[in-house]
Amino acid sequence: MTTAPNKLPLRWDLFCQVIDNHGDLGVCWRLARELAAHGQRVRLWVDNAAALAWMAPGATDGVFAGIEVRPWTTPLNPADLATLPPADVWVEAFGCEIPPEFIAARAGGSRDHSNPPIWINLEYLSAEAYVERTHTLPSPVLQGPAAGWTKWFFYPGFTPATGGLLREVDLPARQAAFGRAAWLRAQGIDWRGERLVSLFCYEPPALPALLRQWAEGDVPTRLLVTTGRATAAVRQAIHNDSGLQPLMVQRGQLSISYLPHVTQTAYDELLWACDWNFVRGEDSLVRALWASAPLGPQRAAPPFVWHIYPQPEDNAHHAKLDAFLDWLGAPPSLRAFHHVWNGIAPGPLPAPDLAAWGACAAAAQARLVAAPGLAEQLIGFVQKKR
């Protein structure tokens, strides 16, 4: 794994707005953590840090692992801003905009106007073609106290012409030390060798049919359901489907374990423990890719199915999903399963070919490991611009 050039640590202001899920905060926390692991000093500004209480316990207690979590109030107090050491880098995550009073405190008057921060517009993850075309393009600031400064688009991505994916330096060592049976015992899960499936989703229309398939199938399956919308979706499916109503935690070949909120580290371990992972949004997709490696001689790479964030107003997620499946090299059955799972195509779910799907995921993971991660690339880009 490559590392960023060895230069003096920089100070970063990373801005995050929590919209309607925990994904934005999850990605920003992982990024802040990786920047700090590379010796950077990070202030994470977030408008709602409540989820960090379970995602990263201790994160909001002053400076945690080199990261200072600061409340993004509206407005920010100009007197407080005036006393902050100026940052070398500003990062606007996922379309949020740095508050005008924050910009004015740095750019107003003569204070540091001749030495502006490197201003990054960190975009959402996509495999679509425009990502390579627009990655690292400049966007001049034309008005306001920062007029004359420049923002830079920075796109995470899956190819060498993009900003890469978040990957921890210690990830291979953590995976090598992981033991499934011990982890399941620690979670209080009475595992008896059945197939393990994790479920992190929105409200997929095909969920009732999949639950019925597992309940009536030939393979004993234990479903590990994450808390929140996935748990609500499973319980609603059982409530609405007369054939599933007897299913509380077990019916036929299917048993269900409802999980509490887990830390980011524990979620990684959940994916490593399972034989098949259902993920949603951006952060868990990346985690499923890193999990898609053989974990010992007796275990094949776990395949995954992605529930992409729906954009019903224009169905832009359809093209985004297909671009990812193209990059992945998804077998036809995996592509068809994704289309039904995401409500893009009608009809029954295709029969899974978990061996082929796992091999596809493992090959994709091997391609990704050869490239530097997102934090490393960000640091390298900033250092070149300074």
Q: pLDDT digit string (tens) for 189-244?
A: 889 999 999 999 999 999 999 999 999 999 999 999 999 999 999 999 998 877 77
Is residue 205 located within the same domain as residue 344?
A: yes
How far is 360 from 303, CA to CA, in rounded Å?
Answer: 8
> What pLDDT is attached to residue 251?
66
pLDDT tens sequence across 119-128: 999 999 999 9
| Tokens at 9, concatenated | 């640590």
pLDDT tens sequence across 274-325: 999 999 999 999 999 999 976 655 678 899 999 999 988 999 999 999 999 9
* Position with higher pLDDT, 6 vs 26: 26
| Tokens at 111, concatenated | 């204070």
pLDDT tens sequence across 158-172: 999 999 999 999 999
Bridging pattern class, strands 118-122 and 150-154: parallel
- CATH of residue 360's domain is 3.40.50
Residue 146 CB-density burial (10 A; 0-12 exposed, 13-18 middle, 19+ buried)? buried
Is residue 197 located within the same domain as residue 326?
A: yes
pLDDT tops 50 at residue 97 = yes
Is residue 361 located within the same domain as residue 380?
A: no
DSSP character string of 6-60: -----EEEEEE---SSSHHHHHHHHHHHHHHHTT-EEEEEES--TTHHHHSTTTT
Q: Which domain holds residue 154?
A: 11-164+371-385
Query: Of residues 275, 282, 283, 376, which has the active-site annotation?
Result: 282
| Tokens at 353, concatenated | 């070919």
> What pLDDT is attached to residue 65?
80
Q: Closest Cα partner for 164 from 384, 385, 379? A: 379
**Which backbone phi and psi does 31 adopt, to 5 degrees?**
-65, -45
For residue 379, give Cα distances in angstroms to 11, 32, 152, 314. 11, 12, 13, 35
Dihedral Cα 14, 19, 24, 28, nearest 10 deg? 20
> What pLDDT is attached to residue 80?
87
- Catalytic residue check, 326: no
pLDDT tens sequence across 81-95: 989 999 999 999 998
> What pLDDT is attached to residue 212?
92
- Ramachandran assignment for 315, one of left (phi > 0), alpha (psi -120 to 50 degrees), beta (any other): left
- Residue 111 counted as domain residue: yes
Is residue 127 located within the same domain as residue 211?
A: no
Is residue 351 located within the same domain as residue 208?
A: yes
> What pLDDT is attached to residue 334?
98
> What pLDDT is attached to residue 5?
47
What is the pLDDT confidence band of residue 35, given thresholds at 50, 70 and 90? Answer: very high
How far is 68 from 166, CA to CA, in rounded Å?
Answer: 20
How far is 219 from 227, CA to CA, in rounded Å?
Answer: 25
> What pLDDT is attached to residue 240?
85
How far is 226 from 222, CA to CA, in rounded Å?
Answer: 13
pLDDT tens sequence across 105-116: 988 754 455 689
Is residue 43 located within the same domain as residue 156?
A: yes
- Residue 65 counted as domain residue: yes
Is residue 192 located within the same domain as residue 324?
A: yes
Is residue 248 located within the same domain as residue 125?
A: no
Query: Of residues 24, 34, 123, 168, which has the active-site annotation?
Result: 24
Is residue 301 located within the same domain as residue 160?
A: no
What is the pLDDT confidence band of residue 44, given thresholds at 50, 70 and 90? Answer: very high
Count up the domains in the chain and report the number. Answer: 2
- Catalytic residue check, 283: no
* Helices vs strands, H then E, count in the chain: 15, 14
